[in-house]
Amino acid sequence: MKIDRVRSLHVSAEWDYHEPLGEAHLSRPESIYPELAADPSWPVKDVASGSPYAVDAHFLIIDTDEGATGICGPVGDEDIAIINRTFVDILIGEDPHAIERIWDKMYRHSIHGRKGAPMIAQSKVDLALWDLKGKLLNAPVHQLLGGPSRARIRAYASMLGYSVEPIKVVERTRHFLAQGFTAFKWFLPCAPKDGEPGIRKNLAVIRAAREAAGPDVDLMFDAWSSWNVPYTLRMIELSREYRPYWFEEPVLADLIPQYAELRREARGVLITGGEHEYTRWGIKALLDARAVDVLQADVTWAGGISEMSKICALASAYDIPVIPHHGGWPSTHLIASQSLTACPLQEWLIQHGRLPNVFYKHKLVPVDGHIEVPNAPGLNMDLAEEGVTLLEERTLTG
């Protein structure tokens, strides 16, 4: 059996979604420049149009000469362009079971693509190959990786997209608490450039979340790489009475010594990061520096299932848990293949996580704050049989 074709599908659907989108302006690294302060992160371009929203996506397809197919999606336009330009010629003619060989060939060929967009594209290829392998062996991918380690995974509600006005924070936290979530992450709106008023605004979000959640819920807060060391230490001290569980990505990803300094000084509050790091080599630099309490590498960015399995093994040797940066179904399979201490939680983006379900046959829907470990072969990213319209099918030719 050989890989004989690589395709992309451009599909559309309607998202019947009735909650507010784009409510919050969040601080991001580029927000120090006013002309870059507009937030581009919302999953729908025309929020004002109202539900149902017209949405579209690309899916990567890898075919074999015996009719078996692997799928990964949604993937970005840039992913498809890089795969077409860089990886198609490597894939054609390969044994689809030989994923480790294929990963190594892609990595060595794309030596200038060890990080960032090229590695993200390579990750999507790896995921499609694992989906294909699961279907060839009639098994869910977590089973091929040694799982399942549990029947369901505790999820934390990641509140990207919701207003950070305190009254809304209370309202939304209570709403999802009633749905069974026992951990929440809010994205803080202000950074050093916002001065003392910004510190008060951040604290108001933290205070409101704790007021709504009660004493027994884990509360995490994301700074989106927008802070510096003095600012982070001050936020930690001012927020201690509200018992934040972690502060995520407080400084830019390349400031590894600063992460390590924060971890030493945080005293009981965890410092987390790693979503913008790539492969086992990038992650090892964080681990060797004792930079983070929790690693948050992304299965769809850091090298796919193949590389994330190595990252989890590496992190376990340092006794550092991996809680992947969202990742949808691939994260579920990865986490389910690991021990409860190696990967204790899954991030569930309440808004962004629900959008891909429009395209999926198998919907990812947490129940009572947990994600059920799936049993279908592959990675569960097959396209729905109804409600999805094919706009374009393209064979990638390299």
Of 22, 5, 18, the closest CA to residue 53 belongs to 18
Question: How far apart are the C-alpha atoms of 320 and 21, rounded to whole Å?
Answer: 34
Question: How far apart are the C-alpha atoms of 167 and 170, rounded to whole Å?
Answer: 5
Give the phi and the psi of residue 120 in degrees, each rounded to 5. Answer: -60, -45
Of 299, 355, 356, the closest CA to residue 325 belongs to 299
Question: How far apart are the C-alpha atoms of 246 and 270, rounded to whole Å?
Answer: 4
Residue type, 224: W
CA dihedral 202, 327, 228, 24 (to 10 degrees): -30
* Residues forming beta bridges with residue 53, ordered by sequence position: 15
Where does 110-194 have alpha helices with state H? 117-136, 141-144, 166-177
Return the active site residues.
325
Question: How far apart are the C-alpha atoms of 3 and 23, rounded to whole Å?
Answer: 45
Secondary structure, 3-state, 314-370:
HHHHCCCCECCCCCHHHHHHHHHHCCCCCCCCEEEECCCCCHHHHCECCCCCCECCE
Question: How far apart are the C-alpha atoms of 326 and 397, rounded to whole Å?
Answer: 31
